[in-house]
Amino acid sequence: MSLLSETALPPDSETFTADELNEGQEPAKKRVSFHTLGCRLNQSETGVLARSFEQQGYAVVPEYAQAEVYVLNTCTVTEHSDA
- The span from the CA of 31 to the CA of 67, in Å, is 5
- The span from the CA of 83 to the CA of 79, in Å, is 12
Give the tens place of pLDDT for each residue, 28-55. 789 999 999 988 889 999 999 999 999 9
Q: What is the pTM of this model?
A: 0.59
- The span from the CA of 41 to the CA of 80, in Å, is 13
**Higher pLDDT, residue 24 or 44:** 44
**Higher pLDDT, residue 59 or 27:** 59
Q: Where are the beta strands (DSSP E) in the chain?
A: 31-36, 59-61, 69-73
- Predicted local confidence at residue 39, as pLDDT: 87
